[in-house]
Amino acid sequence: MSIPNLLNKIKSKISIDNKTLLMIAVIVLVGFSSFMLGRLTEEGENDPILIENNTEKIDYNQEKSYNEKSLKSTDKMFVASKNGTKYYSLGCSGASRIKPENQVWFKDREDAEKSGFTFSSTCK
């Protein structure tokens, strides 16, 4: 039995024209091949994900280069970038993205706002 005969036999059973049958076959084959390619790429990525605790100490007593007097580590509650307009609390993720050479430290919100910074809305 040849493929054209098989197609005619299927067509007579379900009454679908050749273009529709071909479209269905293409969709099924594309879906199957996409699934198999996805499975192949996943086989190499079975390494476990390790989460390590960062124990690096941060030296808060180092001098800053923005004409600010050196503050005690207990006075450093808020940080801002000398290139930005927002200030962040120490626990905020935005504070960790500021490079050490661009950091400006404040002991309270009033000092930061007097210097022209506004509190970031991403911090709580």
- The pLDDT of residue 26 is 95
* This prediction's pTM: 0.41
- The pLDDT of residue 64 is 44
C-alpha 88/C-alpha 123 separation (Å) is 7
Helix (H, G, I), strand (E, B) or coil at 91: coil
User: Confidence class of residue 39 from pLDDT cuts 50, 70 and 90?
Assistant: confident
Q: How many residues does the chain have?
A: 124
User: Confidence class of residue 45 from pLDDT cuts 50, 70 and 90?
Assistant: low
Q: Which fold has domain 64-124?
A: DNA Methylphosphotriester Repair Domain (3.40.10)
- The pLDDT of residue 13 is 75
User: Confidence class of residue 33 from pLDDT cuts 50, 70 and 90?
Assistant: very high
User: Confidence class of residue 58 from pLDDT cuts 50, 70 and 90?
Assistant: low
- Assess whether pLDDT exceeds 90 at residue 32: yes
C-alpha 104/C-alpha 3 separation (Å) is 76
User: What mean pLDDT is predicted for residues 4-17?
Assistant: 76
Tell me the domain boundaries of the chain: 3-42, 64-124
- Assess whether pLDDT exceeds 50 at residue 63: no
Phi, psi of 104 (to 5 degrees): -125, 125
C-alpha 71/C-alpha 56 separation (Å) is 21
User: Confidence class of residue 66 from pLDDT cuts 50, 70 and 90?
Assistant: very low
- Assess whether pLDDT exceeds 60 at residue 67: no
**CA distances for 108 relative to 17, 47, 111, 115, angstroms:** 77, 45, 6, 11
C-alpha 116/C-alpha 86 separation (Å) is 9
Max CA distance (Å), the chain = 91
